Structures are given as structure tokens and as C-alpha cells.
Amino acid sequence: MLARLLAPSGPARFRRVGRAGAEVVAVPGRYCVTHLLLGPGSVGVVDLGSQADIPVVLDALRGLGRLTSEVCWVAPSHLHFDHVLAIDVLARRLGVPILLGRVAHDASNGRRRLRFPSRLHLLRAVATWPMQGLPFPPLADWRGGFGFGFPGAPNRFHADLLPPLVHGAPLPRLPGWFLLDGPGHADDAVLFHHPGAGFLVAGDTVRNFYGGEWNPLLCDRADYSRTQALIRSLPVDTIFPAHGPIVDGPDPIARLRTTSSWMP
Ligand SMILES: [Zn+2]
């Protein structure tokens, strides 16, 4: 109800979108949307915030007629708790590696520190919690500890890591998909792009609380401007944000709003 009232776009919904041989399934989770990228006999899992989402994702795979053995990797779009808390648990349960961009890979090996949006920015983000229906962390997330995705968290994965993927690299086992660096909201933010289908799995680089908007929560404004320019140069017909419903229809990138500075 709160999400409906406070976020005009409403809560995220389960959706399956296919085009040009690519397929994405949006599975709304407790803190963020998990995206399943479906390939021929392969599945990539992008973002998994809560351990409570694991059975939901496994159910979704079953419903799609996919085996868990088809999952080839699990990837966070960036190392913030609402996207990464259950990544290591799922990867270990399925016995698959974790896919990271170069910056997140360096951070998880202790070779680089990640910046977070400033305290003022984070204060602004508090209001987005009721907009998402006041998701409360289940016991498993408390028990699992909060070693991932918080300022100063070590982000040490126990599952195997794939070699870091550089900007523009093809996604393993998913033909037509590429990984792009998209810093701004987070130093390590990455985008998952399928130029043939016009799909952009955007993590937190794009949100949808107000019909589709650029994220006002930034750790580096200049980086974010460059990422915006990159996105405007890409063929994109459907945006899959990690918070809120899918943004599609005519020219979704041009329709993205910039929120005023007082808005959450
Ligand atoms: Zn997020």
C-alpha cells in the first residue's frame, strides 16, 4: 500500500520479456529485483539481495522449465547490500562462480576501497524504504552477517570468482550480452546490455519509482554523467531497473526523468 501511494509507478512485478533471441525475467525480491538472463541452456542471475529471495528465484526457474544446473554464474550489479547479501549463498548452493566487473573484483580482494553516496544522499534514500513496502530483513540475513555491501564491509566471497570482466566484454555462456562499466551510483556499478534485443539490465543506474528516472543517489557525479552519456549512445528499448517496474515503450532512455533535489 505504501509503495502504491508513495511510488506512482507501483511495486516491481514479475515479468518475462523476450526479443531477438534474448530473454530476461524480472523476479521482484525483498530489497531489489533479481533478473534472470536466459540463454540456450544457460541462465545468468543478476542481483540477489536477501536470502529470502533464494526459494523465489529457484521457484521461478522451475516455472520457466529451467534446471538449476543451467545457472552458469551469479552476479551483483554493484556491491550494495540490497543487491549482494545473498549472492555468495546462492553461488555456493548451486556450485557456480560469481561474475564481477574489474572494480568490484578488486574491492572483493581488498585491493580497492569503494565509495558510498554521502551521508546526506543516504538520508535522502531513507524515504525509498517505505516506497518499496518497508522490506524487513529476515532472520537468515541477520544470521549470515552483514559482511557484504555496507561501508567498510570486506565483501569477501567464498564461492569461486570468474576472472574480472572488463568494459565491453561478452557475458560468459550468454550470446549477444555484454558487460559495461557504469560508475556513478557506485564505483563498481556495471550494466548488462544486449544490443540486438535493446535490453539494458541497469542495476541502480536507473530506478523506477516515478515512471523511470536517473538515480539521484551518487558517489561520483562526473562518473555518473559519463555513464549517462554512454547509456544515451546505446540501442535500448527496454530498461530493467533493480528498483521498480520495467521501463519500456517508445524511447525509454529519452523519457528518463531527473528528479528535483528535494525528492527521495
Ligand atoms: Zn539498490
Please state, rounded to an integer, the average pLDDT across all residues of the chain.
Answer: 95
Residue 89 has pLDDT above 90, yes or no: yes
How many angstroms separate the alpha carbon of residue 246 from the centre of ligand 1? 15
User: What per-residue confidence (pLDDT) applies to 152?
Assistant: 87
How many angstroms separate the alpha carbon of residue 80 from the centre of ligand 1? 7
d(CA 264, CA 247): 19
User: What per-residue confidence (pLDDT) applies to 225?
Assistant: 98
Q: What is the largest CA-CA distance in the chain?
A: 46
Residue 154 has pLDDT above 90, yes or no: yes
How many angstroms separate the alpha carbon of residue 44 from the centre of ligand 1? 19
How many angstroms separate the alpha carbon of residue 242 from the centre of ligand 1? 6
How many angstroms separate the alpha carbon of residue 74 from the centre of ligand 1? 17
Residue 115 — pLDDT band, cuts 50, 70, 90? Answer: very high
Q: Is the pTM of this model over 0.95?
A: yes
At residue 185, the 3 state secondary structure works out as: coil
User: pLDDT per residue over 215-261, tens digit each?
Assistant: 999 999 999 999 999 999 999 999 999 999 999 999 999 999 999 88
How many angstroms separate the alpha carbon of residue 32 from the centre of ligand 1? 6
User: pLDDT per residue over 124-134, tens digit each?
Assistant: 888 899 999 89
Residue 145 has pLDDT above 80, yes or no: no
More confident residue, 163 or 143: 163
* % pLDDT > 90, the chain: 88
C-alpha cell at 139: 532472520
Residue 111 has pLDDT above 90, yes or no: yes
How many angstroms separate the alpha carbon of residue 176 from the centre of ligand 1? 26
User: What per-residue confidence (pLDDT) applies to 204?
Assistant: 98
User: What per-residue confidence (pLDDT) applies to 3?
Assistant: 83
Domain boundaries, the chain: 2-175
How many angstroms separate the alpha carbon of residue 212 from the centre of ligand 1? 15
Segment 95-113 mean pLDDT: 97
d(CA 87, CA 89): 6
- Residue 147: CB atoms within 10 A of its CB come to 15
- Residue 1: CB atoms within 10 A of its CB come to 7
How many angstroms separate the alpha carbon of residue 82 from the centre of ligand 1? 5
How many angstroms separate the alpha carbon of residue 26 from the centre of ligand 1? 15
How many angstroms separate the alpha carbon of residue 205 from the centre of ligand 1? 9
User: pLDDT per residue over 240-253, tens digit each?
Assistant: 999 999 999 999 99
Residue 123 has pLDDT above 80, yes or no: yes
User: What per-residue confidence (pLDDT) applies to 248?
Assistant: 96
Segment holding 71, helix H or strand E:
strand 71-75
User: What per-residue confidence (pLDDT) applies to 217?
Assistant: 94
How many angstroms separate the alpha carbon of residue 213 from the centre of ligand 1? 14
How many angstroms separate the alpha carbon of residue 165 from the centre of ligand 1? 21
How many angstroms separate the alpha carbon of residue 136 from the centre of ligand 1? 15
